[in-house]
Amino acid sequence: QGTRDHPPAHVALRDRLLAAVVACFKRHGAATIDTPVLELRETLTGKYGEAAKLIYELQDQGGELLALRYDLTVPFARYLAMNKITNIKRYHIAKVYRRDNPAMTRGRYREFYQCDFDIAGQFDPMIPDAECLKVVHEILSDLQLGDFLIKVNDRRILNGVFAVCNIPDSKFITMCSTVDKLDKMPWEKVRSEMVGEKGLSPEAADRIGEYVQLHGGLDLIERLLQDPKLSQNKLAKEGLEDMKLLFEYLTLFGIAGKMSFDLSLARGLDYYTGVIFEAVLLQQENDHVEESVSVGSVAGGGRYDGLVGMFDPKGRKVPCVGVSIGIERIFSILEQRVKVSGERVRTTETQVLVATPQKHLLAARLKLISELWDAGIKAEMLYKKDPKLLKQLQYCEDTGIPLAAIVGEQELTDGVVKLRDVATRKEVRI
Amino acid sequence: QGTRDHPPAHVALRDRLLAAVVACFKRHGAATIDTPVLELRETLTGKYGEAAKLIYELQDQGGELLALRYDLTVPFARYLAMNKITNIKRYHIAKVYRRDNPAMTRGRYREFYQCDFDIAGQFDPMIPDAECLKVVHEILSDLQLGDFLIKVNDRRILNGVFAVCNIPDSKFITMCSTVDKLDKMPWEKVRSEMVGEKGLSPEAADRIGEYVQLHGGLDLIERLLQDPKLSQNKLAKEGLEDMKLLFEYLTLFGIAGKMSFDLSLARGLDYYTGVIFEAVLLQQENDHVEESVSVGSVAGGGRYDGLVGMFDPKGRKVPCVGVSIGIERIFSILEQRVKVSGERVRTTETQVLVATPQKHLLAARLKLISELWDAGIKAEMLYKKDPKLLKQLQYCEDTGIPLAAIVGEQELTDGVVKLRDVATRKEVRI
């Protein structure tokens, strides 16, 4: 339940998508690592808050207590701490496991791919953070998924907002999850959740509302830096100054136009400590192709400076910032697009079928195909002693093989091969 | 225990190895599929004999009872039956899980990669079987692993041998595992295991010994086809006739020279029904590089015509033949070779480092690197506002980046970039 087999057409399309993503990661000088699917249970304990109940545990068959990884970030942090690595830029594309309620039509599975790019190390502020956003911008542009927007915020600004609105520290995390809903419901509903479920006073909720409904660019950052209350809060001020720097770098990268400093962006995970961001595709109203696919967040990430320290015996920190590309969701969109376009995705790369027009020529086919393979040419033949020529040509059409190398009695006598273009039916003797 | 993190240099080398293997699979027109790491426990039950105790089971957390896949062959057979696929050529490279005693120095892990190529479908005899052997031959030749030999046998011939030696059917499987040891111990020891542990009469053991010590080529096949006892056994006769056909095809492929028809080859798995084979590297006596790595089987496979039927409700069979490339073992050999050669495996593909020789030029670097990325060039820069030029060039040497694009105050004024070849220190202004 919640898992699936991927048939060849599926994998071929996914490989096409991943090739574009990996090309971007490599363009940015990232190396790649591989960690086990199995982790010690204790490694995952206390990293995912409420979601811990979704972790797959292995049966105790003697020896260590194990679980399946829930994401790639925690194993990455463990890897850095275990190997005392203080400086790395790496990507990792692999499957993760969550015992969630599967919703296959909406692309939610229990086994799915994550696709992460992270920069670890102590660096000057906002330079690696800006690069992560550049990576997201490049990938979404390359894949031509339509118009998109990247929302950016900072956990320090959000914490500052809560502080100046007199929300107690203990409510910050639960407030984050309520604020995060502003992208799906109107302020009035969010406000009533704050007051009703979370027990805030209407005045406190309104004070928060004045901030979290704001979004903009450099102008908004400047304005908030002048805000009499927020500018007095140390965390918020740090966050806003870094946000200003970030937008300067994004402008130099030429990508500030797609960025929105959005105070309602909160993101779920506890471990974020600084910049957070999320990329969303913008709905195209007249494009009913996309309608059937739920459009939403296609990438997200942020800075997590405390996670590696949790795995180091001396608590030594390694600052990290990273992004996760939502390739399962992007894949659904591409799959839908291919379906509508009627494109037939080839599942093999075969260039030529070795064929014979008469009987008793298996030996000739075996010799020719062997020569082609040894010359590095992608070649197939039917596994029949005496296949009909029509069947062989039909196979080419069915599987998209562009050429047939035909060797018959006449060709054998003349020492040639007849090369046929399957689409145009043109033949040349070579 | 028994798992490991793969650092960048490891993954880079493995990717190089896999690229060669995948190129061969694609050259032969194979598609690829992906199946879940999780399988229903009942899918794996009864497929691995004794080895079943090595299967990793997941904790019962409600819902289905699950296990981690033990190999890629059983999931492949399940996939064919579930989707009623009767005809496919596919490869699959993925991790499998075995709760075995790990022996990391000998390359035995609990999580490791398998790399399988299989041809499923009802075809004329021995054509796909010969192609599997051609695939092994191509891969071992391409990887330049030194001299190798591919041992070939047929389960039907082995069963025929046991039958004509009057071994009861019930002892066939246990006899297979004893015979299989002939590659590691002399006949006398194998014989005493047969007589001592397995309770065979000395005469029966000697009769078996006359056959299983034989190995050769077409000449041996012809001789056995004339053997008064064996030629009377239906299964053995079928096997020998197919073996003759196979050697004819291998001769047409030009690879019969590396093949040895070896009656001692038995292979462990129960599900083989016809041809079986195993590739071994031949020890190079004077090459002490290889000494530290245990050389042995680097590929193996065979025909399993009954496995898919076990998953079909009506027992419909899909004949299959396939090969598994022992990439973990091959990887150990390549890794050892790289270590001895002193080659430094690059873990990134970065072509150019964007550098500045003076302070206050971060903006210039960000603009230039952004242009390079957008033009598809693999570029890095240091994440410092004002790095020293020496540090930047040192980074190039440490990580193997061949070029530095230097932009200083003079270059900015002149509207040029200084491109420096890191190795030769030659510079050009462009």
pLDDT digits (tens, 9 = 90+) for B108-142: 899 999 999 999 999 999 999 999 999 999 999 99
Distance from B8 to chain A by nearest Cα, in Å?
5
Give the angle A353-A343-A376 at the CA atoms, nearest 5°: 30
Q: How far is CA A312 from CA A4, A81, A83, A260, in A?
A: 37, 5, 10, 36
Are B111 and A36 inside 8 Å of each other by CB? yes
pLDDT band at B267 (very low <50, low <70, confident <90, very high): confident
B71 labeled part of a ligand binding site: yes
Nearest CA in chain B to A347: B31
Q: Taking residues A296-312, report their average pLDDT.
A: 95
Q: Are B31 and B120 in contact (CB under 8 A)?
A: no
Are A26 and B348 inside 8 Å of each other by CB? yes
Q: Which residues of A are annotated as a binding site for L-histidine?
A: 71-73, 98, 114, 118, 267, 271-272
pLDDT band at B173 (very low <50, low <70, confident <90, very high): confident
A202 burial (CB, 10 Å; 0-12 / 13-18 / 19+) is exposed
Q: What is the pLDDT of residues A199-213, one digit of tens each?
A: 899 999 999 999 999
Q: Taking residues B361-387, report their average pLDDT.
A: 97
Nearest CA in chain A to B135: A373
d(CA A14, CA A120): 28
In this complex, which of A29, A347, A378 lies closest to B348 when CB atoms are compared? A29
pLDDT (0 to 100) of residue A46: 85
pLDDT (0 to 100) of residue A394: 97
pLDDT (0 to 100) of residue B284: 63
Q: Taking residues B60-76, report their average pLDDT.
A: 95
* Helix, strand, coil shares, percent, chain A, to 5: 45, 20, 35
Sign of CA dihedral A169, A173, A174, A175: positive
Contacts of B383 in chain A (CB under 8 A): 119, 121, 123-124, 127-128, 131
Give the angle B378-B380-B385 at the CA atoms, nearest 5°: 155
| Cα A123 versus chain centre, distance | 25
Weakest mean pLDDT among A94-108, B74-88, B319-333, B399-413: A94-108
The DSSP call for residue B125 is T
Q: What is the pLDDT of residues B144-168, one digit of tens each?
A: 999 999 999 999 999 999 999 999 8
d(CA A228, CA B312): 73
Here the tokens at position A46 are 């206390």
Q: Taking residues B290-298, report their average pLDDT.
A: 60
Q: Nearest to residue B272, comparing CAs of B111, B49, B43, B112?
A: B49
| Cα B328 versus chain centre, distance | 7
Q: Is the pLDDT of residue A107 over 80?
A: no
For this complex, say whether ipTM is above 0.90: yes
Distance from A38 to chain B by nearest Cα, in Å?
8
Q: Is the pLDDT of residue B290 over 90?
A: no
Q: At what angle do helices B327-341 and B8-27 cross, to 10 degrees?
A: 130
Q: Is the pLDDT of residue A100 over 50?
A: yes
Q: Taking residues A292-307, report their average pLDDT.
A: 83
Q: Which residue has the tokens 């194979």?
A: B30
Q: Select from B24, B370, B412 the residue whose CB has the most chain A CBs within 10 Å, as the one to mutate to test that interface.
A: B370
Q: What is the pLDDT of residues A74-84, one digit of tens each?
A: 999 999 999 99
In this complex, which of B14, B61, B134 lies closest to A370 when CB atoms are compared? B134
In this complex, which of B6, B33, B111 lies closest to A5 when CB atoms are compared? B33
Q: What is the pLDDT of residues B8-17, one digit of tens each?
A: 999 999 999 9
Across B106-122, b (16+ Cβ under 10 Å) vs e yields: ebbbbbbbbbbbbbbbe
Are A370 and B249 inside 8 Å of each other by CB? no
Q: Taking residues B327-341, report their average pLDDT.
A: 92
Q: Is the pLDDT of residue B101 over 90?
A: no
The DSSP call for residue B385 is S
pLDDT (0 to 100) of residue B72: 97
Q: What is the pLDDT of residues B296-313, one digit of tens each?
A: 789 999 999 999 999 999
Q: Are A117 and A135 in contact (CB under 8 A)?
A: yes
Weakest mean pLDDT among A412-421, B144-153, B166-175, B280-289: B280-289
The DSSP call for residue A170 is G
In this complex, which of B88, B252, B384 lies closest to A363 when CB atoms are compared? B252
pLDDT (0 to 100) of residue A151: 97
pLDDT band at A369 (very low <50, low <70, confident <90, very high): very high
Nearest CA in chain A to B10: A33
Q: What is the pTM of this model?
A: 0.93
Q: What is the DSSP string of A224-264?
A: HHT-TTGGG-HHHHHHHHHHHHHHHHHHHTT-GGGEEEETT
Here the tokens at position B172 are 């066939």
Q: Nearest to residue B353, comparing CAs of B365, B363, B336?
A: B365
Here the tokens at position A217 are 């660019």
pLDDT (0 to 100) of residue A290: 44
- Domains, chain A, in order of start with CATH, read 8-341 (3.30.930.10), 352-429 (3.40.50.800)
B118 labeled part of a ligand binding site: yes
pLDDT (0 to 100) of residue A284: 62
Q: What is the DSSP string of B45-89?
A: TTSSGGGGGG--BB---SSS-EEE-S-SHHHHHHHHHHTT---EE
| Cα B34 versus chain centre, distance | 16
Instruction: Give the type of residue at A82.
Output: M
Q: Is the pLDDT of residue A295 over 70?
A: no
pLDDT (0 to 100) of residue B295: 63
Q: What is the pLDDT of residues A4-62, one digit of tens each?
A: 999 999 999 999 999 999 999 999 999 999 999 999 999 998 888 778 899 999 999 88
B314 burial (CB, 10 Å; 0-12 / 13-18 / 19+) is exposed
Q: Taking residues A99-106, report their average pLDDT.
A: 80
pLDDT (0 to 100) of residue A285: 52
In this complex, which of A3, A11, A35 lies closest to B36 when CB atoms are compared? A3
Give the angle B167-B169-B174 at the CA atoms, nearest 5°: 80
Q: Is the pLDDT of residue B208 over 70?
A: yes
Phi, psi of B91 (to 5 degrees): -120, 160
| Cα B72 versus chain centre, distance | 11
Are A252 and B3 inside 8 Å of each other by CB? no
Q: What is the pLDDT of residues A333-355, one digit of tens each?
A: 999 999 999 988 899 999 999 99
The DSSP call for residue A97 is E
d(CA A200, CA A197): 8
Q: How far is CA B237 from CA A11, B127, B277, in A?
A: 42, 19, 19
Please list, in sequence order, all residues whose beta carbon lies within 8 angstroms of the beta carbon of residue B293, skipping any fewer than 6 positions away: B332, B333, B336
For the CA atoms of A231, A237, A242, A247, the dihedral, rounded to the nearest 10 degrees, stands at: -20
d(CA A93, CA A24): 13
For the CA atoms of B200, B202, B204, B208, the dihedral, rounded to the nearest 10 degrees, stands at: 100
Are A38 and B128 inside 8 Å of each other by CB? no
pLDDT (0 to 100) of residue B291: 43
Contacts of B121 in chain A (CB under 8 A): 383
Q: Select from A126, A252, A255 the residue whose CB has the most chain B CBs within 10 Å, as the one to mutate to test that interface.
A: A252
| Cα B196 versus chain centre, distance | 36
Mean of per-residue pLDDT scores for chain A: 93
B98 labeled part of a ligand binding site: yes
d(CA B429, CA B413): 13
Here the tokens at position A151 are 């929302």
Q: Are B40 and B66 in contact (CB under 8 A)?
A: yes
B180 labeled part of a ligand binding site: no
d(CA B179, CA B177): 6
Here the tokens at position B67 are 């296990």
